[in-house]
Chains A and B, each alone.
Chain A
Amino acid sequence: MAVHVDRYLRLHKMPHIWCPGCGNGIVLGALVRAVAELGCSRDEVVVITGIGCSARTNAIIDFNTFQTTHGRALSFATGFKLARPEMKVVVVTGDGDGLAIGGNHLIHSARRNIDITTILINNSIYGMTGGQHSPLTPAGSYATTAPYGTLEPVFDACRLVEGAGATYVARGTAYHVVLLQRLIARAISHKGFAFVEAVSQCPVGFGRRNKMRTPSEMMRWQKDHAVTVKAAAGMSREQLRGKILIGEFVNRNLPELTEVYGRLIREAQSRPGGE
């Protein structure tokens, strides 16, 4: 049977404030079950968030948590990890928080290969702040700030962090929740900067404006448009147009920042007068 998530929740915060059918709860469930699957105690894990719907995760989840400033969860997480390298640090962010205002912190965390797991919930929109378009709002879709449709191309968040130096990169969806849990578990186990994009649904801020009126329609969209990395290998560019790739893209081992930093401290302290 599945791990019951309520054991890991702050029950006085329930029911949570996410809208009906919001995929954030599905992603939170996958995170909790991944931690349970790895046999980690909740005291070993710290969840750090910024601002936005994704940031509500740590109001609900009963791990060590702190909510920081908009887009800066990774900066706080970097400080935390360097001070407490034995902890498992998980940042939960969104497409606005993580890629717009926090984009700079994201690429530099990836470049440093610091041992932080970042789960970026991609719901294609700024939900909490009122449905503005984000760097992951698909071109042509409608948002409160794009009444005639967005004109801008999107980032491929996974390729962006791969290029920046992340050593674990994967993508799942709320629909493919079993895969998502597995990817998050691998990301947490990975030593280095691990990034999981969780494609999710915002039925209220995005779906209603974009001809997907129900949460189920949005999840069906995920089901119909997702292609596994394995299947994509045998498909043409034309066949892959408009699809989203899911699965593991990168899994490599490179020197990790807190380890290298710890070595430097030990070395400096061993020199005469170093103590």
Chain B
Amino acid sequence: MLTRYSIELNHAWCKACRICVDFCPKKVFGVNESGRAVVVNIEKCVGCTLCELWCPDFAIKVEGSEQSGEAS
């Protein structure tokens, strides 16, 4: 399956609040040993960008990849 979206996380800004982990409708995120968000299921991402809109620390950027047109 093609990955349609990429997620860039800025761990220098992430404060481990878990909002993205708890509210992502597709459960794309998990946490690392410091509690900060990591992407664990990128193939499930539907590009809704809610994680980016909800991140209080601006630590998440969602991008559509080149394949987004053909992938669906």
Residue pair A216, B62 in contact (C-beta under 8 Å)? no
What separation, in Å, do the CA atoms of A57 and B63 have in the docked complex?
Answer: 26
Quick one: which of B1-50 are within 8 Å of A by CB? 12-13, 15-19, 22-23, 47, 49-50
With A15-B15, A21-B19, A219-B19 as contacts: A178 and B47 at CB distance below 8 Å: no
Residue of A nearest to B21 (CB): A216
Report chain A residues within 8 Å CB of B12: 15
- Number of residue pairs spanning A and B whose beta carbons lie under 8 angstroms apart: 73
Given the complex of chains A and B, what is the CA–CA distance between A60 and B15 in angstroms? 16
In the complex, whether A249 has a CB less than 8 A from a CB of chain B is no
* A2 interfacial contact with B, CB 8 Å: yes
**Contact-residue size bin, chain B (C-beta under 8 Å from the other chain):** 20 to 34
Does the CB pair B49–A29 fall under 8 Å?
no
A177 x B56 contact (CB < 8 A): no
Contact yes or no, B19 A2, CB < 8 A: no
Q: Are A25 and B53 in contact (CB under 8 A)?
A: no
Contact: A14 with B13, CB < 8 Å?
yes
Report the minimum CB–CB distance from B35 to chain A (whole Å): 9
Pairwise interchain contact A215-B18, C-beta atoms closer than 8 A: yes
Given contacts A1-B64, A15-B13, A29-B53, contact A216 B18 (CB under 8 A): yes
Interface residues of B (CB under 8 A from A): 12-13, 15-19, 22-23, 47, 49-50, 52-58, 61-64
- A residues apposed to B, CB below 8 Å: 1-2, 4-6, 9, 14-16, 18-26, 29-30, 33, 174-175, 177-178, 181, 203, 214-216, 219
